[in-house]
Amino acid sequence: MLRLEKRPTPSQFWLYATPVVAVLLTMIVGGMLFAAMGKDPFAVIRTIFWDPLFGGMSGYLRGQLIVKAGPLILIAIGLALGFRAGIWNIGAEGQYIMGAISGAAVGLYFHSMEGFWIFPLMVLAGALGGWAWGMIPALLKTKFNTNEILVSLMLVYVAESILAMAATGFLRDPDGMGFPGSKNFRNYPSAHNADLIAGSGLHWGGLAALIGAMIVAAILLWHVLGFQIRLAGQAPRAARFHGVNPSKLVVLCMGISGGLAGLAGVFEVTGPAAQITINFNVGYGFTAIIVAFLGRLNPIGIVLAGFLMALTYVGGEMASTQLGLPTAAVQVFQGMLLFFLLAVDVLTNYRVRVGSGAVKVGG
Amino acid sequence: MTELLAVKGVTKAYPGVVANSDVSFSISEGEVHALLGENGAGKSTLVKMIYGLVRPDSGSMTLRGQAYRPGKPAEARRLGVAMVFQHFSLFEALDVAENVALGMENPPPLRELSARIRAVSEEYGLPLDPTRMVGDLSAGERQRVEIIRCLLQDPKLLIMDEPTSVLTPQEVEILFKTLRQLSAEGTAILYISHKLEEIRALCDEATILRRGKVVATCTPRDRTAREMAELMVGAAFTPPERRAGEKGAVALGVSGLSVDSPIPFGTSLKDVSFTVAKGEVLGIAGVAGNGQDELLLALSGELKVAADRVRIDGQPMGDQGPVARRKVGLVAAPEDRYGHAAAPDMSLIENAFLTAGVRKGLTNRWGFINWAKTRAFAEEVIAEYDVRTPGPGVAARALSGGNLQKFLMGRELNQAPSVIVINQPTWGVDAAAAAQIRQAILDRAASGAAVVVISQDLDELLEVSDSFAALNGGRLSKPRTVEGLTMDEIGLMMGGAHGMEVAHHAE
């Protein structure tokens, strides 16, 4: 018989081994899934995990990894702060969209003007847009004690509707012959978020993600705010005893994660996407939740997890074009990663004992 | 007298600790037998085995000469073994009769059951109205529900786990009368406690456990409390020493403090007023759940009130949070160690920062934490208060209750506070460590701190306090000097015998 027994202190080994084991299990079970679909599992796994890094097209694909990892990391570090405090912002996708719309709107307002200040202003507007969208569930929670999970999630669908309105209405390109979508920022140098080194895939967003991860890591390790966030998540009553105001913390964490998601949105809409379209959002806000947990809610871990998740995106696309794998199968594969992670995570706090663990009763 | 229960060489081990090692003792019919030992000595595990909640790893038991191996409590009850737990298992939203019915295998119709409850409560001097809601009952009355639930099964052996910790002195007297009556009728009672005077008053025999082993048996009436304490601890120990300190100006003033409880089924504070001078220790007694937790929250700053309700060194601080109150010199120690006073999964270093950050200057002006300095403070507390731990980096939850309590007390007391508020300073702490903690509190008072000790342990309060008050239903009695205070007066301050006006009317 297998039994779980609580460890006196969380295992440091399993804290770090968990993501690795989860990735391996995902590869094994995912491979079985692919085999059941009639594909060669080894070819699929190699296409997803190896080819983007070292395959024939890796020169281009490595850049794509950075393009995809950037927003994931930027959103995930914000979410991790909240998750550590027990504040569950599930609506980063909506905050990402609102950031993109706000930033793009500012850029389109100044369209035809040139100036070094236009892009920074757009970035600021994007962060504010995401922050404001995050404030809605935060204030509803602190004033009316609503559940931030539900409210933030529902606001994603509101944001998607606003996005559709923007693309077909108030931000539509007037010279676009009636097609949905805004003007393209690629043709507007003052607002374009181009690669910092041409062809590298690294734009301002990628840089912001790396700097953001370092700042968040420093806050969690050395700053009172980081201590209060961790304390509130682990022992809410002890946090109040310490002197944390729970409402302030909710507003702060939702604001930071919303603002960072908004930043990711504005960097995306001015860079790789280059315009507002109906299906501008591709689920970064949701995938970032997986990235945050895969990275142990630790900024450095999140950077690694962001790249791993980007790999499954880029590699998954390769697998679907080259091997005819359905896109849904790749999404199942990503979802599996989160499930295995959460399952294996039990080992951090519990150890498995074989047998009943006690001497049998004699006499 | 004939032997009722015999326990022979029982051993039970949990991972990392042997709770009972080769324990043997026996109880005769009608005997009141005390099981004595410090927290963690293995008393609870032993009675859980007798009650069928835990199976022994080895050893055997006999009940009236028959092999006795209860697999579950229902089996134990069928064979005549009943138990009243320290923590009650009652539904507050149901009435007394319904609660009793829920604990029975085949409850009779409620009307019949109510009549039987009345009859039994009459017979044993435990008045209880079967139609009352349990949520409206005091702790002592709730205990009566549990006792009557047991008595309805006509037990041969009644196990009572620390029954007096929730009772006023008057209620204790009534309980003892009931227990003596039961014993005279032939029911054996296994009585668990670490209150030595009670055991001397009530019990015929005592088995003393230390670290899971039987270390002595004795007849309590023939021994002094001091002798039994030394058997329990395994060493001679010295009671704390009082140094008469100078009483100074008022350091903590509370006036007209009324506040709604934030705790479900909690007790709201009603018009609480008191002052504590520099060098004075005010002891606040009370049966659990009479507003102690709320008073601590209101004093620590977790509950905010009008500014002038709480004054620290003359400054109105009632509307300030914990950080501001620490700044002006007030430290507080809540009762619940795992989750309130400390974060269980955080290290001792982080837990040191939890409250000491403000007064020990552990952050710089931008809010960055000086972890090296924090670690040094944690190490200082560990060394000074003899905290047994592999190091300051281990999680708080890895420490035993007593060790963690020593750490948390040291954390507050070593911040050079001017006002100290402590709820249950020695709850679950062994006698030697408790004496050490009380000494540390007295030392702080001697050096000029104003101290409020909230406790359910009257002996402790009488030992450390200069003045004494009691909480009853959220109201605080008028503080009095401890000198010349009798147990009777204390009992009345605590609310006397809750609802016991008609008890033992036949006598």
Q: What is the ipTM of this complex?
A: 0.84
B371 touches A at CB < 8 Å: yes
Query: Which residue range is the domain that position B425 belongs to?
Result: 250-340+418-493
Q: What angle do CA A31, A34, A38 make, to 5 degrees?
A: 130
Q: Which has the closest alpha carbon to B267: B492, B115, B495?
A: B495
Report if residue B440 sits inside a domain.
Answer: yes
Distance between CA atoms of residues B61 and B27, nearest Å: 12
| pLDDT, block means (10 residues), chain B with 507 residues | 89 80 92 85 88 91 91 89 84 88 84 91 86 82 88 91 81 89 93 83 91 89 84 68 70 94 82 94 88 94 94 94 95 91 94 95 94 96 90 88 89 95 85 85 92 89 91 90 83 69 41
DSSP A166: I
B162 plus B279 within the same structural domain: no
Burial-class residue A279 by CB neighbours within 10 Å (0-12, 13-18, 19+).
exposed
By Cβ distance, the residue of B55, B339, B357 closest to A235 is B339
B297 plus B443 within the same structural domain: yes
Rounded to the nearest angstrom, the gap between the alpha carbon of residue A29 and the centroid of all alpha carbons in its chain is 24
B34 plus B110 within the same structural domain: yes
By Cβ distance, the residue of A241, A245, A360 closest to B341 is A241
Q: Do B369 and A227 touch (CB under 8 A)?
A: yes
Q: Do A358 and B371 touch (CB under 8 A)?
A: no
Q: Do A235 and B13 touch (CB under 8 A)?
A: no
> How is residue B435 written in tokens?
């004496």
B118 plus B144 within the same structural domain: yes
Dihedral sign, CA of A264, A266, A270, A274? Answer: positive
Q: Give the CA distances from residue A340 to residues A305, B337, B475, in Å, rounded to whole numbers and listed in that order.
A: 14, 34, 54
Q: Which has the closest alpha carbon to B45: A349, A3, A358?
A: A358
- Find the DSSP H helices in B316-430: 322-327, 348-356, 371-384, 401-413
Residues of chain A with C-beta less than 8 angstroms from the C-beta of B45: none
- Amino acid making up residue B418: S
Q: How many CB atoms lie within 10 A of CB A1?
A: 7
Nearest residue of B to residue A231, measured between CA atoms: B343
B60 plus B96 within the same structural domain: yes
Interface of A with B (CB under 8 A): 5, 8-10, 222-225, 227, 230-231, 234-235, 237-243, 245, 357-363
Q: Which domains does chain A have, with CATH numbers?
A: 38-325 (1.10.3470)
- Find the DSSP H helices in chain A: 12-36, 41-49, 51-54, 58-84, 92-109, 118-144, 148-165, 204-222, 224-234, 236-242, 246-270, 284-294, 299-323, 327-344, 346-349
B28 plus B112 within the same structural domain: yes
The radius of gyration of chain A from alpha carbons, rounded to an integer in Å, stands at: 22
B328 touches A at CB < 8 Å: no
Residues of chain B with C-beta less than 8 angstroms from the C-beta of A360: 57
CB pairs under 8 A between A and B: 88
Distance between CA atoms of residues A267 and A283, nearest Å: 15
Higher pLDDT, B13 or A212: A212
Q: What is the pLDDT of residue A360?
A: 37
Q: Which has the closest alpha carbon to A206: A253, A271, A300, A118?
A: A271
Residue A281 has pLDDT above 50, yes or no: yes
B78 plus B165 within the same structural domain: yes
B336 touches A at CB < 8 Å: yes
Under 8 Å between Cβ of B330 and B419:
yes
User: What is the β-pairing status of strands B81-84 and B157-161?
Assistant: parallel
Report if residue B283 sits inside a domain.
Answer: yes
Q: What is the pLDDT of residue B239?
A: 61
Overall domain count for chain B: 2
Distance between CA atoms of residues B135 and A53, nearest Å: 66
Report if residue B93 sits inside a domain.
Answer: yes
Q: Do B368 and A230 touch (CB under 8 A)?
A: no
Q: Do B55 and A361 touch (CB under 8 A)?
A: yes
Disruptive mutation site among B18, B303, B369 for chain A (greatest number of A CBs within 10 Å): B369
B334 touches A at CB < 8 Å: yes
Q: Which residues of A114-135 are buried (b: 16+ CB within 10 A; e: fewer)?
A: eeeebbebbbbbbbbbbbbbbb
B195 plus B304 within the same structural domain: no
Burial-class residue B238 by CB neighbours within 10 Å (0-12, 13-18, 19+).
exposed
Distance between CA atoms of residues B150 and B171, nearest Å: 19
Distance from CA of B14 to the nearest CA of A (A): 8
Residues of chain B with C-beta less than 8 angstroms from the C-beta of A5: 15
DSSP B477: P
Residue A11 has pLDDT above 90, yes or no: no
- pLDDT class for A84, splitting at 50, 70, 90? very high
> How is residue A193 written in tokens?
């978020």
CA torsion angle A284 A285 A287 A293 (round to 10)? 140
Residue B149 three-state SS? helix
Residues of chain B with C-beta less than 8 angstroms from the C-beta of A357: 15
Q: Do A234 and B59 touch (CB under 8 A)?
A: no
| Range name among A275-284, A301-310, B235-244 with the lowest pLDDT average | B235-244
- pLDDT class for A159, splitting at 50, 70, 90? very high
Domain end point (choices B233, B263, B279):
B233
Nearest residue of A to residue B320, measured between CA atoms: A243
Under 8 Å between Cβ of A129 and A99:
yes
CATH code: domain of residue B125: 3.40.50.300
Rounded to the nearest angstrom, the gap between the alpha carbon of residue B415 and the centroid of all alpha carbons in its chain is 27
- Find the DSSP H helices in B152-258: 169-184, 196-202, 225-233
B92 plus B229 within the same structural domain: yes
Domain end point (choices B184, B205, B233):
B233
> How is residue B262 written in tokens?
């934030």
Q: What is the pLDDT of residue B506?
A: 36
Nearest residue of B to residue A360, measured between CA atoms: B57
Report if residue B70 sits inside a domain.
Answer: yes
Q: What is the pLDDT of residue B245?
A: 57
By Cβ distance, the residue of A9, A235, A240 closest to B302 is A240
Nearest residue of B to residue A238, measured between CA atoms: B340
Strand ranges of the sheet holding B58-63, from the earlier edge strand across to the other edge:
B17-28, B3-14, B58-63, B66-67
B341 touches A at CB < 8 Å: yes
B210 plus B113 within the same structural domain: yes
Report if residue B366 sits inside a domain.
Answer: no
Higher pLDDT, A328 or A250: A250
Which residue in the block uniquely carries the two structure tokens 């006006």? B501
Q: Do A234 and B346 touch (CB under 8 A)?
A: yes
Residue A101 three-state SS? helix
By Cβ distance, the residue of B16, B60, B323 closest to A363 is B60
Between residues 449 and 488 of chain B, which touch chain A (CB distance below 8 Å)? none
B142 plus B282 within the same structural domain: no
B215 plus B116 within the same structural domain: yes
Q: What is the pLDDT of residue B497?
A: 60
